[in-house]
Structure 1
């Protein structure tokens, strides 16, 4: 994973990052709180790091 972090300020941008596989190469910081429904919509694979503005971190 690179040192750069992608910023998702909306759920649509977060979804676009995941659909395009960017979570495999970059950390993602979401400018919204953790939402289990949004996170469970996707399959992430082995290597990802997603942090939400409420401090929740979803990673493997």
Structure 2
């Protein structure tokens, strides 16, 4: 699972990732989107697409 979050969000990303892992999810990865806030996919669409492509390539999905 890929968890994306803008680097301008107020909460740190690691507690969210730890919570997902504690809930039983495997291969949880997180990435901060530069200059992104809560709406990173609208604010930084190219960075979001790049992160998704990299994640899919690393998992053999592409």
Higher share in helix: 2
Structure showing greater radius of gyration is: 2
Which interval holds the TM-score relative to the shorter structure?
under 0.3
Q: Which has the higher contact order (CA 8 A, sep 6+)?
A: 2
Structure ranking higher in strand proportion: 1
